[in-house]
Every structure is written in structure tokens, then in C-alpha cells.
Amino acid sequence: MGEGESGPEGEGPVTQQQEEFPQCEEMEAEVQEDKPEIDQSVVNEFVGEVPNLFKIDSHYLFNQRFRINVWVVYRFPDRLVPDYVIHASYFVKMDDSGEIIDETIHEKKGL
């Protein structure tokens, strides 16, 4: 396939890496399919109640470990656009029973 030619099913131009290593795309697709997920109700229970909650994201990282981000929204009367910030972020592990174990390294205070 030459430069500028479209990939499978019109997915855009084929890169040199895709031409040389087509198996990489297949492996990437397999990895995407094998990612475990934490049940959202378990995540909500772990985080607890949060004032001004916007959303809670959980992202698979590696080896049954996840990053959980807790987003909140702040609205101000003198501003048109609200602020969306990460209120808390957790590094957790999901055990075989689906329970969340907090492995977050917390900042030491008073040093």
C-alpha cells in the first residue's frame, strides 16, 4: 500500500508503522476488549457522598488496578461557565470478588 492510501474500511491513511507491523493493531484491539471494569455501584459506594458531584470516572490501568477520579462542579453567580475539577483521585485494586482495595499513596502532612 502506498503513501496516502486509505486503510481498512476507509479508516484514513495507512501509516508506515501499520504497513510494517499490522499485528500491532490486532493486539491493540484484543487489549481493548480484555479490560476489566468495576461495577459503577461499587465505585459509588467506595467514593461515598460528595457535594456538587458532577461524575465519577474509573479507568483500567494494569493488573486489576484502576484510577478513580471524582469530578465536582462549582457554579458562580458572576460567571457564565462553571468550573469542573477533580475533587479526589484514587489508585485502587479490584480483588477477585470485585471489592475495591484503596492503594492510594496519601500525602503526608506536617513535614
Query: What pLDDT shows up at residue 46?
Result: 93
Identify the band that residue 34 occupies on the pLDDT scale cut at 50, 70 and 90: confident
Average pLDDT of the chain is 81
- Distance (Å, rounded) from C-alpha 94 to C-alpha 91? 10
Query: What pLDDT shows up at residue 12?
Result: 61
- Distance (Å, rounded) from C-alpha 96 to C-alpha 35? 15
Query: What pLDDT shows up at residue 44?
Result: 93
Query: What pLDDT shows up at residue 22?
Result: 63
Share of the chain above pLDDT 70, in %: 68
Share of the chain above pLDDT 90, in %: 50
Domain boundaries defined on the chain: 13-111
- The owner of cell 501499520 is 18
Q: What angle do CA 50, 56, 59 make, to 5 degrees?
A: 145
Query: What pLDDT shows up at residue 108?
Result: 75
- With a cut of 70, say whether residue 82 has pLDDT above it: yes
Give the residue with greater pLDDT, 71 vs 16. Answer: 71
- With a cut of 60, say whether residue 55 has pLDDT above it: yes
